[in-house]
């Protein structure tokens, strides 16, 4: 069963305006499946996982493109980074001749940390770049409201089916990987194979990773600390590797789409703010597996219940940006040295929307810290408390309870 991705129409539209479309993201989130589903009948699919095809592209790129004429979809293109120079030559030659070069090349790959450098060096101005994550709740439910809009009047117009707390944690435990949601595959077997594939095919090739066993221990450790502050020295001490190594490994996780780094909001208004970022995994099913939670009920009742719920909500909001072809670069959190904290801020050019995340249906005084934002000289919009309530409900004129089911 194929599950429609919300970014499909955006990719098709951009294909009219760019010679190259690049889709990157975490392994097994459905990049090549989606592009094969929406591609034109005459677009040839090739994968650089195939050794013979990879050899041809490396040794004779001209012959490669004579054999596989554009329009073409190249999977795992970062395995032959030199192919980008040939793509640039083809695009520039067609443009010089006054011919339409748009839509000729679709590229996918899971190693964004390698891809982006090569792309920026070779195809600047010629490529539209998109990032695909695991399935969002909206995609699983066949809904598409675009980028999460924190405006309360917009949220009141949205339709949704209420889910109980138990159902929400079932979604969290299952995660968003397409194969798990579209088939009857065994979840534990899937994630075991996924991790082995990720370590063996992606991580092993990177010079920053010497011992895979240590990297696996690191992966489990940071999964257990999802939604918490990212403290390199603490991780270094617990795993037994240097802090610079931890930083390089965090970069690998971020650029391969496994985690999202949420930065604290600050300005020159005050120096009393905490400036340590927070780390969130992009797929809660992967977190649950790495932390060895046996089922959704134990996860719901365990000591990670709040952290995993916060991870789920933040990742869903981030996915709404990615699925609209945008970067989530206006999301922050707030914390100061007086231990006043706000889980999430959505910042526009002239306003701030504060968001708290709570498990309870009727959290006590959840907006108690919202007033600290007044010092930033931006308009503080009505805040949201995303929780397990059944309906949108005002706490007061400046704060509303928002059901998780609405996401």
Q: Is the pLDDT of residue 267 over 90?
A: no
Are 290 and 220 a contacting pair, CB within 8 Å? yes
Q: Is the pLDDT of residue 383 over 70?
A: yes
In angstroms, what CA-CA distances link 369 with 9, 57, 348? 40, 57, 19
Are 48 and 114 a contacting pair, CB within 8 Å? no
Q: Is the pLDDT of residue 255 over 70?
A: yes
Instruction: For the beta carbon of residue 162, count every other beta carbon within 10 angstroms.
Output: 13
Mean pLDDT of 281-305: 97
Q: Tens digit of pLDDT for each residue in 29-50?
A: 999 999 999 999 999 999 999 9
Rounded to 10 deg, the angle between the 165-174 and 305-322 helix axes is 70
**What are the percentages of helix, strand and coil residues in the chain, rounded to 5?**
45, 20, 40
The tokens 């690191």 sit on which residue?
218
Strands (E), 11-147: 20-25, 44-47, 72-75, 105-109, 127-132
Using CA atoms, how far apart are residues 377 and 113, in angstroms rounded to an integer?
A: 37
Q: Is the pLDDT of residue 269 over 80?
A: no
Using the CB atoms, write b or e for 62-99: b if 16+ within 10 Å: eebbeebebebbbbbbbbbbebbebbbebbeebeeeee
Cross-strand pairs, 132? 25
Q: Tens digit of pLDDT for each residue in 108-164?
A: 987 665 555 566 667 878 999 999 999 999 999 999 999 999 999 999 999 999 999
The encoded tokens of residue 84 equal 């980008």
Residue 260: pLDDT band with limits 50, 70, 90: very high
Are 146 and 324 a contacting pair, CB within 8 Å? yes
Q: Which helix (H) or strand (E) holds 166?
A: helix 165-174
pLDDT value of position 162: 92
Whole-number percent of the chain with pLDDT over 70: 93
Mean pLDDT of 198-203: 68
Using CA atoms, how far apart are residues 367 and 241, in angstroms rounded to an integer?
A: 40
Question: What's phi and psi for 325, nearest 5 deg?
Answer: 75, 25
pLDDT value of position 237: 95
Q: Is the pLDDT of residue 69 over 90?
A: yes
Mean pLDDT of 382-399: 96
Closest Cα to residue 314, out of 261, 381, 388?
261
Length of the chain: 407
The mean predicted confidence, pLDDT, of the chain is 92
The encoded tokens of residue 122 equal 């070779």
pLDDT value of position 114: 52
The encoded tokens of residue 150 equal 């924190």
Q: Tens digit of pLDDT for each residue in 323-370?
A: 999 999 999 999 988 889 999 999 998 999 999 999 998 898 999 999
Q: Is the pLDDT of residue 200 over 80?
A: no
Using CA atoms, how far apart are residues 212 and 56, in angstroms rounded to an integer?
A: 31
Most confident of 194-198, 247-251, 261-265: 261-265
The encoded tokens of residue 383 equal 């805040």
pLDDT value of position 270: 56
Closest Cα to residue 108, out of 144, 83, 135?
83
Using CA atoms, how far apart are residues 310 and 264, in angstroms rounded to an integer?
A: 16
pLDDT value of position 122: 72
Looking at per-residue pLDDT, the higher value among 245 and 284 belongs to 284
Most confident of 123-137, 204-218, 255-269: 123-137
Residue 182: pLDDT band with limits 50, 70, 90: very high
The encoded tokens of residue 214 equal 């240590």
pLDDT value of position 125: 83
Strands (E), 176-307: 259-264, 278-281
Round to the nearest angstrom and report the end-to-end CA distance of the chain.
23
pLDDT value of position 220: 96
Mean pLDDT of 232-241: 94
Using CA atoms, how far apart are residues 253 and 233, in angstroms rounded to an integer?
A: 17
Identify the three-state secondary structure at position 280: strand
pLDDT value of position 332: 97
Using CA atoms, how far apart are residues 222 and 113, in angstroms rounded to an integer?
A: 19
């Amino acid at each position: 069963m194929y599950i429609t991705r919300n970014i499909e129409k955006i990719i098709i539209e951009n294909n009219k305006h760019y010679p190259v479309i690049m889709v990157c993201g975490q392994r097994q989130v459905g990049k090549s499946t989606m592009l094969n589903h929406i591609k034109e009948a005459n677009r040839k699919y090739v994968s650089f996982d195939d050794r013979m095809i990879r050899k041809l592209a490396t040794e004779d790129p001209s012959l490669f493109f004579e054999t596989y004429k554009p329009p073409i979809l190249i999977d795992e293109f970062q395995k032959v980074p030199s192919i980008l120079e040939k793509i640039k030559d083809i695009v520039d030659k067609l443009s010089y001749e006054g011919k339409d070069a748009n839509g000729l090349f679709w590229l996918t790959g899971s190693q964004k940390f390698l891809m982006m450098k090569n792309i920026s060096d070779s195809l600047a101005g010629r490529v539209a770049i998109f990032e695909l994550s695991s399935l969002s709740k909206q995609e699983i439910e066949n809904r598409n409201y675009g980028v999460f809009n924190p405006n309360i009047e917009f949220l009141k117009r949205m339709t949704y089916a209420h889910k109980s707390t138990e159902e929400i944690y079932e979604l969290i435990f299952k995660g968003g990987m397409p194969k798990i949601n579209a088939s009857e595959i065994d979840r534990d077997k899937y994630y075991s194979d996924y991790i082995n594939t990720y370590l063996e095919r992606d991580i092993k090739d990177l010079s920053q990773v010497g011992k895979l066993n240590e990297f696996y221990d690191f992966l489990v450790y940071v999964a257990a600390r999802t939604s918490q502050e990212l403290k390199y020295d603490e991780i270094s001490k617990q795993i037994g590797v240097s802090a610079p190594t931890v930083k390089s490994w965090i970069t690998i996780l971020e650029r391969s789409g496994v985690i999202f780094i949420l930065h604290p909001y600050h300005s020159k208004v005050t120096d009393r703010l905490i400036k340590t970022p927070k780390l969130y995994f992009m797929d809660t099913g992967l977190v649950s597996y790495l932390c060895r939670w046996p089922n959704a009920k134990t996860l719901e009742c365990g000591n990670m219940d709040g952290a995993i719920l916060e991870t789920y909500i933040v990742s869903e909001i981030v996915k709404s940006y990615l699925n609209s072809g945008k970067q989530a670069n206006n999301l922050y959190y707030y914390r100061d040295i007086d231990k006043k904290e706000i889980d999430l801020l959505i910042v526009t050019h002239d306003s701030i929307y504060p968001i708290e995340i709570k498990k309870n249906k009727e959290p006590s005084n959840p907006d108690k810290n919202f007033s600290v934002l007044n010092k930033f000289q931006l308009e503080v919009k009505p805040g949201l408390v995303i929780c397990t309530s059944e309906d949108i409900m005002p706490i007061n004129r400046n704060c509303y309870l928002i059901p998780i089911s609405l996401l």
